[in-house]
Amino acid sequence: MIWRQTLVGGEVVDPWESVGVTCYSDVAPGARPTLSMADIVQAFKRTPWSKPQVSSQPAGNTTLVNLTTFYKVDWTADGFAPGEVDTSTLLGIRVSIRPRLVGFTYTFGDGSSIGPTTSTGGVYPDGDITHVYREPGSFPVRVNTTFGADFSLDGTEWNPIPATVTVPGPATDVTVREARGVLVSR
């Protein structure tokens, strides 16, 4: 930004006013470069995220119509999960990005969903992410994760990044079957 102030005989006549911008850098030649928040947000968006993989119970990704099915999220080994730290160098400055969970959205493939929630679900009887299918079929279940993050420059204190990113998890096909009662005599 270019600013000007009018002086007459050493006296200030007008207050400072903005008169435009320049294409010259704000950094003096030879000075250490400055990272902007936009640079940090771009690094955050380039973070290789761990993908949330959903599993179900009953085991084997097969359930029955009208049976409560329990869901649980596990993180894939590749990429960065909440609490892990991704470190890179931008303009000669070490930038550490520590992802944090904002929320999950579970989609069950039949038009139903739960979320956003911070629950990773669980197994019977304590899991709190459940769904009941009303029709038989094969349903692609997925969990989308919204990440936020904190950053640190050259090991300084952690500060929040004012952005989020939503990462879709891979689909897990859940087969829903219909059970029929059969009377048998012995």
pLDDT at 26 over 70: no
The CATH number of domain 34-176, selected from 3.30.230.70, 2.60.40.10, 1.10.10.60, 3.30.930.10: 2.60.40.10
CB 148 within 8 A of CB 35: no
What pLDDT does 118 receive?
94
pTM for this prediction: 0.73
Instruction: Count other Cβ atoms within 10 Å, centred on residue 61.
Output: 17
**119-142 pLDDT tens trace:** 999 989 899 999 999 999 999 999
CA–CA gap between residue 163 and residue 165 (Å, rounded)? 7
What pLDDT does 109 receive?
94
- What's the longest Cα–Cα distance across the chain? 116
CA–CA gap between residue 55 and residue 72 (Å, rounded)? 5
**30-62 pLDDT tens trace:** 666 778 888 999 999 989 999 888 999 998 899
**C-alpha separations of 28 from 2, 25, 61, 91 in Å:** 15, 7, 61, 15
- Tokens 């219909």, located at residue: 178
**83-99 pLDDT tens trace:** 899 999 888 889 999 99
The sign one gets for the Cα dihedral 166, 142, 81, 49 is: negative
Q: Where in the chain is the domain with CATH 2.60.40.10?
A: 34-176
CA–CA gap between residue 90 and residue 141 (Å, rounded)? 38
What pLDDT does 91 receive?
85
